[in-house]
């Protein structure tokens, strides 16, 4: 899954400028631009990227500040690998 996400990120970066230009032209009523926009790869759309845990690849419970999932964060905090975190009532 991590490899798929990297591929999507690369596709998004590659087609970002082209997609923006086509969207602007399509908004002005250019039908050819609209058709060209539909022919771009689906995974090149930025919305299809997911945030995933850097260690486990888990897509849910992602904490942006740390780049890991809540489960991994909890395990690391209990092991003392994250400084300044105290166990509350987990």
Per-residue pLDDT at 63 exceeds 90: yes
Shared-domain flag, residues 37 and 59: no
Give tens-digit pLDDT for 33-53.
999 999 999 888 888 888 889
Q: Which range is most confident: 41-45, 55-59, 66-70, 86-90?
A: 66-70
The number of distinct structural domains making up the chain is 2
The reply to whether 37 and 66 lie within a common domain is: no
Q: What is the mean pLDDT of residues 47-70?
A: 89
Q: Are 52 and 58 in contact (CB under 8 A)?
A: yes
Same domain assignment for residues 2 and 32: yes
pLDDT at position 90, please?
A: 58
Q: Are residues 3 and 17 in the same domain?
A: yes
Per-residue pLDDT band at 24 (split at 50, 70, 90): very high
Tell whether 28 and 60 lie within a shared domain.
no
Of the candidates 56, 80, 78, 81, which has an alpha carbon nearest to the alpha carbon of residue 67? Answer: 56
CATH code, domain with 56: 4.10.830.10
Query: Is pLDDT of 28 > 70?
Result: yes
Alpha helices in the chain (DSSP H): 2-27, 31-39, 70-79
Residue 48 is given by DSSP the state: G
Range of the structural domain that residue 32 is part of: 1-50
pTM: 0.60
């Amino acid at each position: 899954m991590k490899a798929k996400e990297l591929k999507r990120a690369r596709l998004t970066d590659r087609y970002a400028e082209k997609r923006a230009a086509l969207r602007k032209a399509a908004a002005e009523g250019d039908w050819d631009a609209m058709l060209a926009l539909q022919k771009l790869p689906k995974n090149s759309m930025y919305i299809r990227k997911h945030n995933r845990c850097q260690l486990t690849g888990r897509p849910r419970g992602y904490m942006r500040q740390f780049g890991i999932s809540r489960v991994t964060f909890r395990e690391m905090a209990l092991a003392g690998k994250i400084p300044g975190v105290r166990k509350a009532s987990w």
